Amino acid sequence: MCEDVMESKGALAKLERMPVSRWHWKTFWVVGFALQFNGILNSSGNSVLADLVDRGWSNNYWNAFFSSAMMVGFFVGSLVAGSLGDKIGRKKTYELCIVVFASASLVAAFAPGMVFLIVCRGLMGIGMGGGIVLGYGSFTEFIPAKSRGMWSARISLLGNLSPLIAAILAAILIPTLSWRAVFAVGSALSFVMLFVVHLRLDESPRWLINNGRVEEGIAIINKVARESGFEEVLSPDQVLEDDEELEPDDDTKLWDFFHGDLGRRTLVATATLVAMNLSLYTITQWVPTIFVNQGIDIKNSLQMSMIMMIGAPVGVYISTLIMDRFPRKILGAVLIVLVAVLGFIYANQTSRTAILLIGTVMIIVLYIYNSFSSAVYAPEVWPTKQKMRGLGIANSIGRVTAIVSPYLVAWLLTEFGVVAVFIVLGALLTLCAVILAVFGIETRGRTCEEMSLDSDQLSSTR
């Protein structure tokens, strides 16, 4: 397996020691903007649905099918792209994901009816769900461990600007053209990004070397070395000599991700992403409705929600400053508990000022955690050879939470009220925090090669 990589003084160790260079910045911008265009198509759905309802195309039931189709697509895309990413490479699979959601978006722009449009939205979800796994997952393989948390959080910051960009794009295009223009423009931007990814994004040298394609991997590492002024430029012969025990074959089966060492990683990554999906989709999607149920009129409800959501980019920005300063599993568990506690306090407020202040703080903490979970910790816990499959499985289970939680919230809100929603949410989040604190694997400052160690060995080394 990959245990020998950690001890070798070969190519991957040299890559880890190189300073951040133009190559790293280029990779950051390419992956970041690809994730952002992915997010724009994702976030544009609410605006599109509003126009469809206004034109008589849709109603509440069709809207639910439209949203559910995307989430089902996310579930499928996470699993399929995860498997392909480990098998045929990060870059090829990422390009395939962009082709899928860009093409589906283009076809959606010419949809003759709502059923056809829902099918297109499901196909978009497959590409977007896979793109999220590949984007965040592969980026962790490019950045040195000592600053990987900060850089991954920065990627999350770029991605989390997409809801704002989508809202601006929809505000310009829908009144003047219609919802079709949103999908057409989104598709065009995505195809442009596909061209950029194809020309400017390198395959992960870690994936190449771990899969026996040493010469290709070392060529990329040599390029990085030249750009960064690093003196130790290796030849393929030197790499083979240092890393001669690397085995390209990987016989990991699906069942292996649910027991033993990989099973522990699946449990931890899944709990991390379930907490993110549970809190993010419950709070951001239901806050306006909760306000209305508390007797606040719809106009003030929307205004208060908008003010609170200013905390989202603030939270992601703060995550870039603190991510590498604290042990990962402790930081994650504390953030989950904070969201749960703030949610309960928030639910018991009656003053609008208190609701706004506590709610905004809650959103800030939530988006720090959003950055931690999806961009940093969940992608980090996996060995290189199994990374995309493991991350895809964890993401797909997290998506199930996003599909189920709206129905749970609706039932709790109707039958028991706002406080019950946050009590149940807090209990579920606390369970996720306990799993992370007890079974979590510390990843801060550890290289991708170190993460190929058995998780028990990792726990005993720090």
- The CA distance from 160 to 138, in Å, is 18
Alpha helices by DSSP H, 229-259: 236-242
What CATH class has 3-229? mainly alpha
- The CA distance from 133 to 340, in Å, is 26
Q: What is the helix (H) or strand (E) element at residue 245, kind and residue range? A: none
DSSP state of 19: P
- The CA distance from 390 to 140, in Å, is 14
Nearest by Cα to 90 from 153, 158, 141, 36: 141
Answer yes or no: is pLDDT of 108 > 50.
yes
Which residues make Cβ contacts (< 8 Å) with residue 84, sequence separation at least 6?
92, 93, 96, 130, 388
Residue with tokens 């129905």: 407
What is the domain partition of the chain in residue ranges?
3-229, 255-456
The model's pLDDT over 110-167, given as tens digits with 9 standing for 90+, comes to 999 889 999 999 999 999 999 999 999 999 888 888 889 999 999 988 888 888 788 7
Answer yes or no: is pLDDT of 452 > 80.
no
Nearest by Cα to 225 from 23, 1, 435, 402: 23
pLDDT at 243: 46
Nearest by Cα to 96 from 87, 106, 105, 85: 85
Residue with tokens 């890559």: 15
- The CA distance from 107 to 97, in Å, is 16
Q: Does 255-456 match 3-229 at the fold level?
A: yes
User: Strand, coil or helix: what is 324?
Assistant: coil
Q: Can you tell me the mean pLDDT for 410-417?
A: 79
Architecture of domain 255-456: Up-down Bundle (1.20)
Cα distances from 378 to residues 46, 266, 404, in angstroms, run 27, 9, 21
The model's pLDDT over 321-366, given as tens digits with 9 standing for 90+, comes to 999 999 999 999 999 999 988 888 877 777 778 888 888 898 899 9
Nearest by Cα to 169 from 156, 187, 182: 182
Angle, CA 91 vertex, CA 368 and CA 124 arms, to 5°: 70
Nearest by Cα to 369 from 283, 302, 306, 451: 283
Answer yes or no: is pLDDT of 241 > 50.
no
Residue with tokens 């209990």: 427
Give the sign of the dihedral formed by CA 297, CA 298, CA 300, CA 306: positive
Alpha helices by DSSP H, 351-415: 352-370, 378-380, 387-415
Which of the four pLDDT bands, split at 50, 70 and 90, describes residue 6?
very low
Which of the four pLDDT bands, split at 50, 70 and 90, describes residue 8?
very low
Contact indicator for 176, 20 with CB cutoff of 8 Å: no
pLDDT above 90: percentage of residues in the chain? 38
Give the sign of the dihedral formed by CA 94, CA 378, CA 375, CA 320: negative
DSSP state of 386: G
Q: Can you tell me the mean pLDDT for 303-332?
A: 86
DSSP state of 259: S
- The CA distance from 377 to 272, in Å, is 8
Contact indicator for 186, 106 with CB cutoff of 8 Å: no
Top pLDDT among 358 and 409 is at: 358
Q: Which two tokens stand for residue 393?
A: 């499985």
